[in-house]
Structures are given as structure tokens and as C-alpha cells.
Amino acid sequence: MIHLGLIGYPLGHSLSPKLHNAALHYCDLQGEYSLFPIEPDDLQSLRRLLERVRSREITGLNVTIPHKQNVIPFLDQLSGTAEVTGAVNTIYRHNEILLGGNTDAPGFLVDLNRFLATHLPWRAVPGETRRHRGSFNKNALILGAGGSARAVVYALLKDGWEVTIAARRLEQAQQFVDLFTNYRLQIADLTLLNIELSNITLIVNTTPVGMIPNTDQSPWPENCRFPTHAAIYDLIYNPFETKLVKDARAQGLSAITGRGMLIEQAALAFQLWTGKQVAREIMLSAVGES
């Protein structure tokens, strides 16, 4: 019997049980996926839960806000990506070792590249309505500088993108400059966004602004036009179409929300726990546009 679950707080809107129960069914495995809401300061409960993974009572866990950093002291070892980003979203056991991994970074990159392969940014050719494929400048602007931004920035830098991080607190963006010392990162004030935008070809929202129930909000500053060559990737997956995505599409830009990333990171976590590959369509149809 396989016991899986998710640690976080709050967990009301999580789609993870649907994704992983579909994966268990698809792989013909007996098991269950439970939610473990643990309040932000309750580190004792966190430690006790992780001990249940160590003792094999629980097979593996996902981790979400606010515990992606909090779990680290209770683990024996981190994967390379978890180490660099300082964030764990998957806990699993290998022999007697309790490991922390991060499947957000590869999950994001796989889904981003799938999106860009069919929706490369517009090239401003007057009268031209077709999307052009081919080479383009890899200049990304990241909105927000929290846990998921670390995975996104790490994935983009490794994939050869130049990155600007815009945060409402500049000191939080500055932490990225200190973290990724081998790369040249720019930082910007998200509330003003008074930087040159014309070279930007990708905007990634990593803030929760626009998430249910605040679906009338957007992290993009009012009165600021989107760069004309940019594609937009919004990590939010609930709702299926955010205000940011709607506004960008209304301006003729390609834009997508983070459902594909959610599925990729889940499938990679499932593989770490069970050794099984899950067809992404199985997980996609389990959540649909819910």
C-alpha cells in the first residue's frame, strides 16, 4: 500500500490528490494521497510527519507554501536543485536516507519549452499575423521573488536566459543576485517597473496575485503596456485563465497559466516515489479545467 500526501497551509484548493490518485490508478497501484495541513509555525508536527516517511509508514510527500524551506533541517540530504534553490517540494526515501528534491524547476522548464515551441513571441512585422518560429533573444522578466521564483530563475539561467527579477521588496530580489553569483541578474521594482521592457521576450508571474479568490487582480502594474515581443507564463493554475493571461491575450500576446507545470512537477515527484512514469494526459484529464 502506497501512502502519499501534501504538506502545506492552507490546502483547500489543492489539485494534488486528483493528480496522484489518477496516477496510482493508471499504474495499477494500491494507495492513497492525503492532505496534511500544518500551520506555519508548527515545526514539531512537521518533524513528526517526516519521521513517518523515515519509518516507511508514508512513502513520500509533496511540500508547498509555507514549508518548502522549513522541512530542510529535518532531511538527511538535498538534491542538487533543492540545494541551489533552497526549496524542497518533494520528500522521498532512498534506502535509509530521507531526501528532499525540487521538481518545480524541471517541471516549469519542460512546460515552458512546450509552450514556446508552439507560441514563440511575436516578431513585430507590420501587417504580419502569423507567428514566427526560429531564434529569438532569451530575455526573461520574473514577477515576484519567493519560493517558486527560485526554481523558475534557476531553470531559466541553466537554460541560457538572461533574467530580470521584479519584486515589491527590492531586498528580496537582491537575495537572488547573492544566490546565483555565477550569473548576471538584474533587479527591478515591481510596483514601478521603470526598466527597459522592449527586449523582454518572456514574462513569468511567480506571485500569487490573481489566484482564487482574487481573480480580478493582476501583478502587472496598471497603465503599463506589455512588451510587444513577449510571451506570458503565469505559474498560477487556479483559475485556469488569470486576469494577467486574459489581459495579455487581449493585447495579442501568447499567454498560458501553470497547469502544465503542475502536472509535470507532480509526474516527476510520482516517479521519485514509485519509479513509475505516468502519461501526462492521465493527470491532465483528472483535473481538466477545474
From the list 68, 138, 246, 276, the catalytic residue is 68
Give the contacts of 162 (CB within 8 A, at least 6 positions apart): 137, 138, 139, 140, 184, 186
Burial pattern 215-241, b for ≥16 Cβ within 10 A else e, equals: eeebbbeeeeebbebbbbbbbbbbbeb
Q: Rank residues 102 and 229 by Cβ distance to ligand NAP and give the closer one.
A: 102
Answer yes or no: 246 catalytic. no
Q: Which residue minimizes CB distance to ligand NAP?
A: 146
CB of 57 to ligand NAP, least distance (A): 27
Binding positions for ligand NAP, rule: CB under 6 A: 65, 104, 144-149, 167-169, 172, 190, 206-209, 211, 219, 235-237, 258, 261-262, 265
Q: Rank residues 176 and 226 by Cβ distance to ligand NAP and give the closer one.
A: 176
Q: Rank residues 121 and 147 by Cβ distance to ligand NAP and give the closer one.
A: 147
> Which stretch of DSSP H or E encloses residue 33?
strand 31-37
Task: Give me the half-sphere count of Cα atoms (radius 13 Å) on the Cβ side of residue 243.
Answer: 16
Burial pattern 250-261, b for ≥16 Cβ within 10 A else e, equals: eeebbbbbbbbb
- Crossing angle, helix 16-26 and helix 259-274, to 10 degrees? 50
Q: Rank residues 65 and 72 by Cβ distance to ligand NAP and give the closer one.
A: 65
Q: Rank residues 61 and 122 by Cβ distance to ligand NAP and give the closer one.
A: 61
Contact 272, 90 (CB under 8 A): yes
Give the contacts of 163 (CB within 8 A, at least 6 positions apart): 140, 141, 142, 153, 156, 157, 183, 185, 186
Report, as residue numbers or ranges, the catalytic residues: 68
